[in-house]
Structure 1
Amino acid sequence: MCASRRFEVVSSPDMPEEMKLDALHSVLEAIDSYTTLEDMTEHVKMFFDDVWTPNWCCIVGRRFGCSIPRDDYGFISVKVNDLTFLLFKSVR
C-alpha cells in the first residue's frame, strides 16, 4: 500500500488528544487518496470543519513560512516525510 513514513506532529499545548489523532488520520487519508496538494488541502479542511466545527484553514507544502493568528487549541502541524500540513482554526 505505502512505503515507510516518517511523521512529526506539533500542536497547541491545549489541543485535545482526539483532535491530534483526527489531524494525523485525515492527513494520512489525504495523502493516500489524492495526488494534488489542493485536493489534499481541501480534504483535511473539510474533515475538520465537519468534525470540529467550521472555519479551519489548511496549508500544504514542502517548504513555506507563516505567521498566523490562532486560538488556544486550534493549531497543528503534521509533517509526513517531506510534506507539511499546517492546520489552524480561524479566529474570526
Structure 2
Amino acid sequence: MREEKKTMEGASEELERRSRYLSSLIQRTKLQPDGEPEKQHHQELAKPDMEKLHHHHQRQQKKKKKEEGDEVVDGGEDDPQEQQHNVRVRAADMPPELQKLAFRCARETLAAMPKLDSKRLALSLKKEFDSSYGPAWHCIVGTSFGSYVTHSLGGFLYFSIDKVYILLFRTAVEPLRH
C-alpha cells in the first residue's frame, strides 16, 4: 500500500513536470515558414493533465495579451461559438487561426455524418491541412486512444468536440538523398 502511494506521487510529479515543460514550449513557439528546418518535439497525452495545462496556458495568454494591450483571441471554450459546439482545447502548440480552421473543418465534417466515422473525419482534417499548409499533417480521431507523437514546432493540436477527441499534428519532411 505504501509503495503504491509512492508510485502515485511520483507519477503525479512527472505529470506536473511535463505540464510545465509543455507550457514553456507553447509560450515560445511559432509555426515555421515552409523551407526552413523545423524542430521536433515528443508529445505524450494524458487527458487529465492536458486539461489542466490548457487552463493554465489560457490564463497566461490572456494576462500577457492584456498587458500588451492586444485583443484576446483564444478560439477555445471561452468563445461562445466554440461552447455551442462543445469544442475544448486539451493541448495546443498551434496559432489560433489554424486552431479555428481545425475546429470549423471538424464541426462541418461531423455535421455531415449521420454517425461518427473516425477515419473520414481524420482524412478530412489531414487533407485540409495538407492542402493549406503543406504536407506531413497527421490526424488521429476517436473516443478513446493514447498516443506519443513527435511534432514540428507550432504544428500540434489536441481538442475534443463532445466526446470525440482529435489529435492533429505536423512532422517535418526531408527529401530523400540517394
TM-score (normalizing by structure 2): 0.46
The equivalent position to 1:7 in structure 2, one of 66, 87, 95, is 87
Q: CA deviation at 1:90?
A: 1.8
Return the offset for 1:69: 0.3
Distance 1:88 1:22 in 2: 14
- 1:30 Cα deviation from its structure 2 partner: 1.5
Secondary structure class of the residue paired with 1:54: coil
Deviation, structure 1 residue 76: 0.2
Q: Which amino acid aligns with 2:111?
A: D
Larger Rg: 2
Corresponding position of 1:30: 109
Q: Is the 8 A contact 2:139 2:167 kept in 1?
A: yes
Query: Distance in 2 between the 1:37 and 1:57 partners?
Result: 13
Identical aligned residues as a percent? 25
State how many pairs are aligned.
Answer: 87
Determine helix, strand or coil for the equivalent of 1:30: helix
**Could you say which structure has the higher helix fraction?**
2
Structure 2: which 5+ runs fail to align?
1-83, 174-178
- TM value normalised by structure 1: 0.86
Asked which structure has the greater RCO (Cα within 8 Å, sep 6+), the reply is: 1
Q: In the alignment, is residue 64 of structure 1 matched against residue 145 of structure 2?
A: yes
Which residue number in structure 2 is paired with residue 82 of structure 1? 163
Shift of 1:37: 1.2
Equivalent residue, structure 2, for 1:51: 132
**Preserved CA contact (<8 Å) 1:62 1:83:** yes
Write out the 4+ residue segments of structure 1 that deviate beyond 2 Å after TM superposition: none
Aligned partners of 2:85, 2:154: CA distance in 1, in Å? Answer: 26
Gaps of 5+ in 1: none
Q: How much has 1:6 moved relative to structure 2? A: 1.5
Whole-Å separation in 1 of the counterparts to 2:106 and 2:155:
16
Distance 1:6 1:18 in 2: 18
